[in-house]
Amino acid sequence: MIPAPQLPIAALLRRLTGAAPLETHISAIFVGPDHAWKLKKAVALGFLDFTALAAREHFLRRELALNAPHAPGLYQAVLPVTRTPEGGVELDGPGEAVEWVLRMAAVPSGDFLDAVAEAGGLDGARLDALADAVFAMHAALPAAAPLNDMAAVREGNRRAALAAGLPQARIAAWNTALATRLAALAPVLAARQAAGRVRRCHGDLHLGNLLLWQGRVCPFDALEFDEALATIDTGYDLAFLLMDLEHRLGRAAANRVLNRYVARSGDIGLAAGLPAWLSLRAIIRAHVAGARGRREEALAYLARAEAYLAPPPPRLVAVGGLQGTGKSRLARALAPELGAAPGALVLRSDEIRKRQAGVPPEQRLPPAAYAPEASESVFAELAAQAAEAIGAGHAVVADAVFGRPSERAALEQAAGTAPFTGFWLTAPQEVLEARIARRRGDASDADAAVLAATAARDMGEIAWHVLDATEDPLPAARAALGLDAGGGDGPPGPP
């Protein structure tokens, strides 16, 4: 409900737009043909206090400053609502300011990504664009300090979950498990802060706070009213989106966004924090749903929060073979079924090479980028990242030709004590040539000449599982990994 003193302002905005407001507990948004107007409600809710006019102006200006860089043109201006000589109100008049509103461009309701997801519009390309948008946002943010106190976040959510009526015994067990994990994670989080991974992030990064704007995916509506809640590890910021994707669309969608983000950022280290971060994001949704009387939804999120804290052990899977054998397709298909949520990290040599060169995955590189010393650097990073992820408890699928025995041996060594399975894909040369010719917008720069040169090399003895990739090798790979009966290492996605 809009507080009574603000009803004249609401009536003005309704006349301007011809629309009733869309309300949250802290704002009312009036969407017209060309513009949308946001009014912050004069409320105090414990975690925020907007009762003073100066506070509402301040946080509207903060909202504009936070969001405008990431969605240029969407956020436009903070304007006063002023008193008229007759005692009424008008927008941006010469009189005394009695309220402040944020002017934004109007956006069709179907362009918000939660609506896009509901309509089945988040295909692979859109998911990649989504991950790219989050990567670009994080890359543009400066390092910040101090890191939000995760123990305080845990305790706040424990109290909120109990206040929302969630089962006491389950919340107590969740709280204990999370406290144990956060204690073990403390040195990792401190090292990530020292490395600049703590930034003033979005803070509320779920699908409802991303949209299609001017032909691209953009984040908007960043958390503006609490600097501590938004000064967090970039991995924790990303985790809200991953949890939301897994809940709405299933693990494959979340896994694709995770892997695209890591391919762009190189941030393998975020894997260590994912169980705790995902669990916290799920418990937030659980107690919000519970407080709104949506018991079934709340319990579904609680089950998710619990499952994230009991991940399966890591394993390393390698997919090798000549160009065109479908290594990346198989790796991407297997990854959601392996290991901790939202599935295995896919470490693809082609993407590592592009990141080392400082270009997006789909941008072609000159031949010099494939010189022996460059390739050695790529495979060294791939093996090191695999070892780091496995050490952090996260499964890995490594995707490369692995045409040299030394590369295969280095990767197997990266598994440490974790289970290792290697697949070697084969298909007739003419099949591989036809597949390569059909490629568009792929991270691989290989052409028929590169294929021929690779095929002419002595690969040495292949001790990995050899799979015929003329047809789909996924069923055979799943059987070899023992995935047929259980459907994967992790908990099932939503129905």
Percent of the chain past pLDDT 70, that is, above it, reads 97
CA distance 52 to 59: 11
Q: How far apart (Å, rounded) are the C-alpha atoms in residues 172 and 176?
A: 6
Pairing mode, strands 75-83 and 89-91: antiparallel
Res. 64 pLDDT band, cuts 50 70 90 = very high
| Rounded Cα–Cα distance for residues 182 and 80 (Å) | 45
Share of the chain above pLDDT 90, in %: 92
Neighbour tally for 478: CB within 10 Å: 17
In contact, 383 and 390? CB cutoff 8 Å: no
Q: Which sign, positive or negative, has the C-alpha torsion 178, 179, 182, 183? A: negative
Task: Supply the pLDDT for residue 276.
Answer: 97
Please tell me the distance from the alpha carbon of residue 349 to that of residue 373, in angstroms, as a whole number: 14
Among 4, 99, 13, CA closest to 52: 99
Segment 352-384, tens digit of pLDDT: 999 999 999 999 999 999 999 999 999 999 999
What are residue 468's DSSP bridge partners? 426
Work out whether strand 35-40 and strand 97-105 pair parallel, antiparallel, or are unpaired: antiparallel
Q: pLDDT tens digit string along 448-472?
A: 999 999 999 999 999 999 999 999 9
The four Cα atoms 426, 429, 430, 435 give a dihedral, to 10 degrees, of: 60
Residue 386 confidence (pLDDT): 98
Query: What value does the mean pLDDT take over residues 174-188?
Result: 96
Residues 6+ positions from 309 with CB-CB distance below 8 Å: 174, 177, 178, 181, 275, 276, 279
Tell me the CA end-to-end span of the chain in Å, nearest whole number.
34
Dihedral sign of CA atoms 319, 321, 326, 328 in order:
positive
Place of tokens 């860089």: 69
The whole-angstrom separation of Cα 211 and Cα 122 is: 12
- Give the integer Cα–Cα distance in Å for 161 and 246: 21
* pLDDT for 491 beyond 90: no
Quote the tokens at residue 441: 């917008």
Q: How far apart are the C-alpha atoms of 14 and 17, rounded to whole Å? A: 5
Amino acid at residue number 166: L
Question: Which candidate, 67, 218, 242, places its Cα nearest to that of 136?
Answer: 218
Query: Residue 446 pLDDT > 70, yes or no?
Result: yes
How many CB atoms neighbour CB 85 within 10 A?
Answer: 8
**pLDDT for residue 343:** 98
Nearest by Cα to 70 from 216, 232, 198, 261: 216
**How does pLDDT run across 144-172, given as a tens digit for each residue?**
877 778 899 999 999 999 999 999 999 99
Q: Which CATH number fits domain 316-480: 1.10.10.10, 3.40.50.300, 3.40.50.1980, 3.30.990.10?
A: 3.40.50.300
Q: Residue 489 — pLDDT band, cuts 50, 70, 90? A: low
Rounded-to-integer distance, Cα 116 and Cα 110, Å = 6
Mean pLDDT, rounded, for 195-216? 95
Look at the domain 4-106 and name its fold: Phosphorylase Kinase; domain 1 (3.30.200)
**Which stretches of 250-364 are DSSP H helices?**
251-265, 274-291, 295-308, 327-334, 349-357
Grade residue 137 by pLDDT with cuts at 50, 70 and 90. very high
> Out of 1-5, 132-136, 313-317, 419-423, which region has the weakest mean confidence (pLDDT)?
1-5
Does residue 106 contact residue 36 with C-beta atoms inside 8 Å? yes
pLDDT per position as a tens digit, 23-56 = 988 999 999 999 999 999 999 988 889 999 999 9
- Here the tokens at position 477 are 């790979």
Q: Residue 403 pLDDT more than 50?
A: yes
Q: Judge whether residue 494 has pLDDT over 50.
A: no
CA distances from 278 to 116, 128, 158, 456 (A): 23, 20, 15, 46
pLDDT score recorded for residue 484: 75
Query: In this structure, what token pair is assigned to residue 395?
Result: 């499964």
Domain segments of the chain as ranges: 4-106, 113-308, 316-480
Per-residue pLDDT for 201 more than 90? yes
Q: How confident is the model at residue 490 (pLDDT cuts 50, 70, 90)?
A: low
Architecture field, domain 113-308? Alpha-Beta Complex (3.90)
pLDDT band of 238, cuts 50, 70, 90: very high
pLDDT over threshold 50, residue 234: yes
pLDDT score of 488 more than 90: no
- Dump pLDDT digits (tens) for 272-301: 999 999 999 999 999 999 999 999 999 999
For residue 44, give the DSSP letter. Answer: B
Q: Does the pLDDT value for residue 257 go beyond 70? A: yes
Closest CA to 221 of 372, 41, 27: 27
